[in-house]
Structure formats: C-alpha cells, structure tokens
A and B are shown apart, each in its own frame.
Chain A
Amino acid sequence: MNNPRTIIQKPIITEKATILRESNKYAFRVLSGANKIQIRQAIESIFSVKVESVRTVNVPSKPKRQGLFQGRRAGWKKAYVTLKAGDSIEIVENI
C-alpha cells in the first residue's frame, strides 16, 4: 500500500491541468485511501523533486445509466501537487 507507484496512478491531462502547470502545479489521479503526506512522499521519491504543497479532491462517484441498467461510476481521489520553484516533472510535460 505504501508503494509510491501504487499511490500515484496517472497524471491528469486536461485543459485545467495544462493551465495550472504554468504555476508549477501538477494534477494526478491517486489512490483513494492515500493522504497528503503519502502523496507528497510518493511524488518526491518517483520524480526526485521537492513538493511545496499537496491539495486533494475526492471526485464523487456518479450514477450512470446504460439503457436498463442503473449503475455508478467509481469515485476517485485527485491531487494537485505544487512543486518548489525550479522543479518540474519531465514525463508529464512530454505527454
């Protein structure tokens, strides 16, 4: 559970996330049970950067209907990670 690569699931690439990157903020989908401290440690160890702050959002699950079948789309946790000035994450930049 504490494996950094299990905590950080994937970067989020959207218009908003792209704009935020200008202020050195990166968005990730993270393990729902992870807290800010775990996320900070995971990011620092995977990308070798210094994290300034972490903010998280619990994206709620939503009811979805496919014809007859009523279901729910899973909720998930999103994290906005602000890096210390001067640091950047290449992999995300290049996607």
Chain B
Amino acid sequence: MKTNVTEKGQWGREIEVEVEASRVEKELDKALRKYQRQLEIPGFRKGKVPLKVVKSRFGESIRGEVIGDLLPALLEEATREAGLVPAAPPQIAKLDHEPGGDLTFTATLDIWPEIEVEHYEKLDATRMVHEVADEEITEQLEELRRRQATEQAVERPLEKGDVLIADLQRLDEGGVPVIGERFEERYFLIGDENAPSPEFEEGLVGMSAGEERKVSFAYREDLPNEELAGKTEHFDVTAREVRERSLPELDDEFAKDVGEQFQTMAEVREHISNQIQERWSYMAEQRLRSDLVGQLIEKNEFELPESMVENYLKSMKREQQAQGQAQGQAQGQAQGQAHDHDHDHDHDHDHDHDHDHDSEHTDEEREQAVRRLKSFLLIEGVRKQAKVEVTDEEFETFAAERAEQGGIKLEEMQRSGRVDDLRRELEEKKVFDLLGEKAKIKEEKV
C-alpha cells in the first residue's frame, strides 16, 4: 500500500492510496470460493461449479462487493500508515480500479486538531459563594412536613386544606349522566395552589360526607394540557369522606420519621443545610468551569474542521432521539398509572413533544456543538501541555469514591466499561483544578 497526503487548508487532508492488485485479487478469490460453495447452476451439482465458471459469470459483481467491503479497512490502514488521525469518517472522492490492476482511490478527511493552548493562565472566573440561610432550611422543612401530613376523617363540612374522597359522575350540558364516565373514590386535596380548576374546589367547599352536589366549573386557562385549558365541565359529586389534614410538629419524633439516621431536629436541619450547601457548591463549580472554558475559547482562537462539527451534531441528534424515545416510553407508563389529584379525563399527550427529527441543525445547536468540541480540545491541549497525568493510585481512589456514591461495588463499575469515562472525568477535573489555581478568581456572594 502506498499513500500520498496533500494538505488542504488547516485541517483538511487529501490522501491518495494505491493498493496492490494482488491484495484485491486475494480477497476476490476468497469471496468467489465462498460464493462457489452455495452456488447452484443447471448442469452442475450444488457447490461443484468450477471457480473459473463462477468467476466468468459473477466475477465483476462480486468484485464490486469485495471492494466495497474492503474499503473501510483500507482507509483505516491508509490513514494510520500516513499518520493521520481523522476527526470524522473520511469521504471517498475518487476510485479507480481495473480488473486485475491496482486499486487506487482518493479520500478527503479532516484531521483531529491538536491545539497549542497559548493562554491558559490568568483566566478570569467567578466563584459563587453561598451561605445557607435559615429560611431555605425552613422552607425545605415545611415541604417535608406537608409530605408527612396525617389525615383523619371528620364529621364536619369541607374546608380549604382538607381532603375530600368522592365519587364523580360526569354530566353533559343538559345534566344527564354520561355512561361510562363514573369515577369512584377519587382523592382531592382542596386549596392546592396548582389545582387544575380552582372553581371546582370552590364549588366543593362546605360539603359533608354523604352529600351530593352538582358542580359546573371551568379549567384554568393556563393548563399545560391545551385540550382541557379553559374547558367547562359538569360533574355530579358524591362526597364519601371529609378528612382533616394535620401537619406533624417539628420535634425529634418528626426527625425520626424523616429518616432512620436522624435522632433530633438539629440533625435534620444540619442535613438539609448540608444538602443545600452541596447543591450550591456543585453549581458554583459548574459556573467556574464554564467561565474558565469560555475564557479559554475566547483567548485561543482557532477553527474547527467542518466535518468534525457535522459529525458531532449528527451524533448529538442521534442521542437526543434515543433519549426522546426512552423518555416517551417512561412518560406513557407514568401517565397510565397516575390518577392522584387530577381528574381522570386528561388524554394522552405525549405526542405534543414529537419534534421534527429531520430538520437541519439550528444555529443554536451548532454553536453549542462548536463550544463543546472546542472546550474538549482545549482542555485536552492544556492537559498535554501542562503534563497533567492521572496516576493509577489517584484513579483508584477516585473510582472507589464514585462507586460508593453510586452505591455499587468497584468491581462492578470496572466491568460496566465506564472506567474510561471515569478516567477522562478525573483528568478533566485535574485540568480544571490547575486552571483554577492559575486563574484570577473573584468571589461573588449569592
């Protein structure tokens, strides 16, 4: 195999490849023999057709197939031999081959950009500092309290904040029951700010157990489900039970209910505070990283190979589609089961989220792709230049930590094949640490 590389622009390369005839013929021979074994021609027993006959009858079409199969491997070998690392799959531009002669072809490709990062010190970045306020903790506690609320059946009219268990029968405009539209023992929490129809709840207030009432109401205009938003409905409601909700006291008893590991309220508060702090520091880290990357991109201008961006956009799209499908399924299942606070007549609406997958990439997507690729390349560049290495020991500790967080065993993780991703993550982290050390960071209270 002979290769000849010509440069086309900064990243573009054209590679001319010449493959010896013997190599093609050898492959062709192999293919013919394989074909011969299952070939049936009148006048010959199956598999006994002489190679010569097979070749003269089917040689040319098989040759085309052989070359088609051989090309990807040849391309890979050629790029490797020429010392090129493609940024995206190469495109075959020209192909020449006479039966029995050498095979020559030309492929164009963009090479993987190796970036010299000139300015990676003294970057400007902001680190967010957050002190957890008491209100934040209290808010979280209130949420917990609402979740732990107990319900007690009472003999009094329904008030806001109560729970109503009721049977519903849908009525048409004239007040006639609609057959098949009866819903039993539905659960309604009255006085919820996000209720689909405040009017409906309004109409129920004052009911006692056993009472029957006809309620007409309109759904809220801003309901996400467009078919229902603003629609008027009529229901015959029979109250089965009125329940009073009582929120638990915030005492140590409550703390034990929240989780086994808590003994006192103070511990719960501390736990919540830590959680909030963690969330903020994660956000701060993300912000810091995005600042650093932004600066890197700004200070080190370079062009990306076009095919690399295209390739990345394509894979992004594929990923999105795969995710979309997985999500669509999950949503469908969840909707099938959830009948809680809502009335039972919203129709399946997953289809609203279907996007037009064939559309071209938007500028926004493109920008995002360019940013991600650049940041990846720049970080890789910094890593090489600053000689950031991850020792096996470091990696081991990091992986063990991760395994513990994820609640799986280290060996399991190693088997799952995510080890390479993890290593990259650690490398990235070390690069960011380095960048952070050398950057001018100002702190910002939020």
Contacts and interface: CB of A to CB of B under 8 A. Distances in A.
Contacts of A13: 43, 53
A17 B56 CA distance: 16
Contact size range, A: under 10
A12 B43 CA distance: 9
Interface string A2-32: 0000000000111101100000000000000
Contact of B44 (A15, A94, A95): A15
B48 interface: yes
A18 B50 contact: yes
B45 interface: yes
B56 A14 contact: no
Contacts of A14: 43-44
A15 B43 contact: yes
B43 A94 contact: no
Contacts of B56: 94-95
Contacts of B50: 15, 18
Interface string A74-95: 0000000000000000000011
Interface residues of B, number: 10
Contacts of A95: 53, 56-57
Contacts of B57: 95
Contacts of B45: 15
Contacts of B53: 13, 18, 95
Nearest to B42: A14
Interface string B43-65: 11100111011001100000000
A93 to B, nearest CB: 8
B359 to A, nearest CB: 53
Interface in B48-97: 48-50, 52-53, 56-57
Interface string B7-45: 000000000000000000000000000000000000111
Contacts of B49: 15
Contacts of A12: 43
A18 B50 CA distance: 8
A17 B50 CA distance: 11
Contacts of A15: 43-45, 48-50
Contacts of B43: 12-15, 17
Nearest to A14: B43
B72 to A, nearest CB: 33
B336 to A, nearest CB: 58
Contacts of A18: 44, 50, 52-53
Contacts of B44: 14-15, 18
Among B45, B48, B53, B56, chain A packs the most CB atoms within 10 A around the CB of B53
A17 B45 CA distance: 13
Q: Which of B43, B45, B49 has its CB near the most chain A CB atoms (within 10 A)? A: B43
A56 B45 CA distance: 24
A15 B48 CA distance: 8
A26 to B, nearest CB: 14
Nearest to B41: A13
Nearest to B49: A15
A18 B44 CA distance: 10
Interface string B251-291: 00000000000000000000000000000000000000000
Contacts of B48: 15
A32 B45 CA distance: 27
Nearest to A18: B50
A12 B53 CA distance: 13
Interface in A36-95: 94-95
Contacts of A94: 56
A84 B53 CA distance: 23
A17 B53 CA distance: 12
Interface string B288-320: 000000000000000000000000000000000
A90 to B, nearest CB: 11
A3 to B, nearest CB: 26
A42 B49 CA distance: 29
A13 B54 CA distance: 12
A54 B45 CA distance: 27
Interface string B97-114: 000000000000000000
A15 B41 CA distance: 10
5 contacts: A15-B48, A15-B50, A18-B50, A95-B53, A95-B57
Which 8 residue pairs are nearest across A and B when measured between Cβ atoms? Answer: A14-B43, A15-B44, A18-B50, A94-B56, A13-B43, A15-B48, A15-B45, A14-B44
Interface of B: 43-45, 48-50, 52-53, 56-57
Given A17-B43, A18-B44, A18-B50, 9 more contacts: A12-B43, A13-B53, A14-B44, A15-B49, A15-B50, A18-B52, A94-B56, A95-B56, A95-B57
